[in-house]
Structure 1
Amino acid sequence: MTASRPRNILLVTGMSGAGKSTVLRTLEDLGWEVVDNLPLLLLDRLLATALPEGSDFDDRPLALGIGARTRGFDPERIVRRIKRLRDDHGHDIGTLFLDCASVELERRYSETRRRHPLSLDRPASDGIAREREMLAPIRQWANRLLDTTRMSANELAQEIRTSFSGPGLGEPTLSILSFGFARGLPRSADLVLDMRFLRNPHWIADLRPGTGLDEPVAAYVRDDVAYGESIDAIERLLRLLIPRYRAEGKSYVTIAFGCTGGRHRSVHVAEAMAARLRDAGFSPTVMHRDLGSAPQDSLEGAPVAMVQNQ
């Protein structure tokens, strides 16, 4: 058996509940080879095994998930092994440490009703404190530190796509997002398009309980005199820009359509634009951030648009 060629390896570790599973799933979607909770006794054997000659995966980077659940987990030994693998075999090994505030970790464990792996018969806070102390050596060694305290799973996945995608790793992912300005700008957006110039269905009593997914609401939005020309112009813009993002190596593009509450105009336009882009050969995924929020007059402002368009 020929010796294994040097590989690009990323160790993914950190606090339990900080998002390791999300990171590994995202890396796998990007084309990485992913192994989670491999017993450390088998790590050397895995890295010493040569891939079949001519394999299509010769250059695939490898992500190894390790943590408190990993058999034989010992942070100080892991650091020594990383140094040896890098120095003796030439592997390019990075370490991503996922951190998170203890209070947020307690909240996540409380919401999911999962038990912390280091405190199966005690409060989660005890296990979190014990794990933080245990992981101190590998946290200090890690060359990448990511704090997920204020990140949703989607935001964490996008951060990983941005940081760890590369040539030949995954096709660009196009997302169309609707949102409400009243609830803040989406952090993940590459382009933000404001749909508040369209008349607002919120101020029509029969339409207020509905959403942009409902045909009566959609028809009301489409009947705005500015709708057709503006949507055509936005489509032309996106058809110009998306291939340019792809050419520049951007692996994840999020286009956000906003209205005041995020339930009517932005939802319809996001769905309509996604359909147009699919017809143009793109494959967008549609997400509606604020679709489930309750209608609220105080968020929508004065019904000026309704008066002007009637």
Structure 2
Amino acid sequence: MSLEGKVAIVTGSGRGLGLAYAQELARQGASVVVNDIDAGVATDAVESIVAAGGQAVAVVAAVGSTETARALVAAAKENFGRLDILVTNAGLLRDTVLWKMSDEDFDLVVNVHLRGTFTCVREAAVEFREQGEGGRIICIGSPTGQRGNFGQTNYSAAKAGIVGMVRTWALELSRAKVTVNAVIPVAATAMTATIPFFKAAVEAADRGEPMPDFFRHDLGFGTSSDVGGLIAYLSSDEAQFVTGQAIGVGGDRLQLWSHPDAVESAYAPGGWSYETLQQQFESLFGDKQQSIGEEFPPLPAEFAPEPAA
């Protein structure tokens, strides 16, 4: 087992994707600190890992605060003696369009996803630097943070911010031999179960049946367990050369996301006045503007949801 002797923290790991990450890390030999806000769910997660021959303990707390971040690192050290891996997965949704989004909806999502990632990574970084043996940090992003999505101002802002922080942390922690990467999962979870486009795939997964190839291959949409292998790989010594990357995974598909870069440049002597932009912007950039939102191929007829009565 490639992670034998390693110790990992996985936030938001009581169920769903987080649980799949924690179980796979344990299967590869790591001891795991499970985290959830529901004590019963956290206990069940720990028991599932122990029953499979692994080691795990639970910290029941909401991420976001420095106190929770410190409690997670303390649990790793007190129970297993060290920390080697941090996976920041905890999250929630409060979806609505911009003009209906409340301050509370915005603040809650940003606090859990963005601030929670920051506080946990900061505490792990301090521990990794003190240990002096490197480390692995994996932050969970989303296609919404890469492309945007209708009704998800708060979530897209937080997930885009996470990838931006990952790039900065990869630079800052390189001398300490700590790698920092973002994983962009696409999988059937409670967050995707309500999306009609994925209905046939989610229902197949719920029945314990293989997802149709259209979803697994064409869309790169799979189950939570499809993502665990990448999490374990990025946590391993073999991935010491991978840092600062945003890597997508789902179903049968693995993707390396590009970093934002200029797609076209133009120059005007003396700079770009309003009048010059009026005259030239459309001819220079009109056909080079970038698309927004996720773009899916047409849904085959056999998977289309039935129209509402």
Q: TM-score, normalised by structure 1?
A: 0.33
**Quick check: which has more Rg, 1 or 2?**
1
Which has a greater percent of helix?
A: 2
